[in-house]
Amino acid sequence: MKRWQAEQFGEVADVLHLIDVELPEPGPGEARVKVLAASLALPDLMMVHGDYPFVPRPPVSPGQEVVGIVDAAGDGFPHPVGARIVGNARADIAVGGFAEYTLVPGWSAMPVIDGLTDEQAAGFPGSFHVAHIGLEHRAHLQEGETLLVLGGAGRTGSAAIQVGKSMGATVIATARSEVKARFSREQGADHIVDLGAAGAADEIARITGGRGVDVVYDTVGGTAAAEAATTLARGARFLIVGLASGEPALIDAQRLLMGDYSVIGVLSTFRDDDEKNATVNALRGMLAAKQIDPPVTAVYGFDNVPDALAERAAGGIGQTVITVGDRLG
């Protein structure tokens, strides 16, 4: 079988190669999955560069989320051979999803929700599941509250816009180009601001009637997070989801104390079964009601993974997908 792999950290064009490897064998609680499609996102580029904390040393096999067909199952894997599932590939041990076959642990594996294409399903957990876990289970976003999404045009930010709107929030999204602003509006954002522009905080104050925002969904970090922290209402919840800027959110503890707000990390791998099932059911309902519609904005073939990483991972809009196989192949 073939897999994209880097034997050392570096630039994609220099270190990432398509190699032949043996079929991976699933251990207890795992399955070998024939990959149909895989999500491509910023962490894939970060791990090749050596900047991703969950992949501390090479070799590197990117591709975190896949949709595929269970080919062989270890003891205790919760789905049968032949099932079409979505789950996390084992990029942490260099058995990533940009491959013809990968390994998927049972804790991450779920049947694909009816109505999702392979391309939509591939990145659904890392975008819509994370958005729902953050907004519902961590921030307890309420109808009528104001949600500020940092990086609304990204795959995680655009999911947060759609989920936030479906939960009845007024959504403000940040964007620094007209293309990204237009895309964020298409996802349902009510207002667009550029946090780097003069008067952005005043604009948010105007939108919220001087109250400030109730929930921040931060996929960016860095200076954007610092600017967002100046716009909060008392009792606000600041969700740290990612660091697309390359810099983490630096929270001023004194401001946190005096502002009376909470900072919460959002990583869906820490959810329990009750949260997982509640999120699946809620998202299934939102899909059926056409309140959410996962946007796939770029699709690349398996041979074009390096191009996709170079062109999309660092600044792409919406969801990028690598197509690998087909259900009959």
Question: Where do you find CATH 3.90.180.10 in the chain?
Answer: 2-123+294-323
Average pLDDT over the chain, rounded to an integer: 94
Burial class for 283, CB neighbours closer than 10 Å (0-12, 13-18, 19+): buried
Mean pLDDT of 121-132: 95
Lowest-confidence range among 17-26, 70-79, 267-276?
A: 267-276
Q: Is the pLDDT of residue 322 over 70?
A: yes
pLDDT, residue 313, reads: 67
For residue 315, what pLDDT band results from cuts at 50, 70 and 90? confident
pLDDT, residue 273, reads: 84
Mean pLDDT of 81-104: 97
**Tens-place pLDDT, residues 197-245:** 999 999 999 999 999 999 999 999 999 999 999 999 999 999 999 888 7
pLDDT, residue 5, reads: 98
> Which is higher by pLDDT, 195 or 21?
21
pLDDT, residue 257, reads: 85
pLDDT, residue 46, reads: 92
Q: What is the DSSP letter of 103?
A: E
Distance CA 301, CA 208 (A): 44
Lowest-confidence range among 122-131, 228-237, 308-317?
A: 308-317
Mean pLDDT of 4-29: 97
Q: Say what the pTM is.
A: 0.94
Question: Where do you find CATH 3.40.50.720 in the chain?
Answer: 126-269
Q: Is the pLDDT of residue 328 over 60?
A: no
pLDDT, residue 23, reads: 98
Tell the CATH superfamily of the 126-269 domain.
NAD(P)-binding Rossmann-like Domain (3.40.50.720)
Residue 143 and residue 167 in contact, taking contact as beta carbons nearer than 8 Å = yes
Mean pLDDT of 273-278: 89
Residue pointed to by tokens 């690998």 = 324
pLDDT, residue 268, reads: 72
pLDDT, residue 314, reads: 63
The CATH number assigned to the domain with range 2-123+294-323 reads: 3.90.180.10
Q: Shortest CA distance to 79 belongs to which of 88, 89, 69?
A: 69
Measured on CA atoms in the order 55, 59, 63, 66, is the torsion positive or negative?
A: negative
Q: Is the pLDDT of residue 329 over 80?
A: no
Q: Which residues contact 300 (CB under 8 A, 6 or more apart)?
A: 40, 307, 308, 312, 320, 321, 322, 323
* Integer CA distances (angstroms), 255 to 149, 234, 251, 259, 273, in order: 20, 11, 8, 6, 35
